[in-house]
Amino acid sequence: MQDISAEVQGNYESKEGLRIKDFPELKIKNGEAIFKKIPTMVIVRIQILEKFVSLLK
């Protein structure tokens, strides 16, 4: 991924961060990631948004 901070990608326990379901235009076909549109949509869940906002303070 490009231009995504480490905090958005997840913590050391892998309990936070982006998930496959956060990319609604992503399809996996024959082990390959295919996006319907580029740039693509990313769903930002409240947990990630709260983490980002707390880093700005």
Tokens of 30: 């024959």
Could you tell me what percentage of the chain is helix, strand and coil, using 3-state DSSP and rounding each to the nearest 5?
A: 30, 15, 55
Of residues 49 and 2, which shows the higher confidence score?
Answer: 49
Say if 1 falls within a structural domain. no
What domain count does the chain have?
1
Predicted confidence at residue 20, as pLDDT, reads: 86
Predicted confidence at residue 3, as pLDDT, reads: 56
Predicted confidence at residue 24, as pLDDT, reads: 95
Count of helices and strands (H, E) across the chain:
2, 2
Say if 38 falls within a structural domain. yes
Check whether 33 has a pLDDT greater than 60.
Answer: yes
Say if 19 falls within a structural domain. yes
The pLDDT confidence band at residue 53, using thresholds 50, 70 and 90, is: confident
Mean pLDDT of 12-35: 84
Predicted confidence at residue 26, as pLDDT, reads: 93
Say if 45 falls within a structural domain. yes
Residue 8 φ then ψ, to 5°: -75, -35
Say if 50 falls within a structural domain. yes
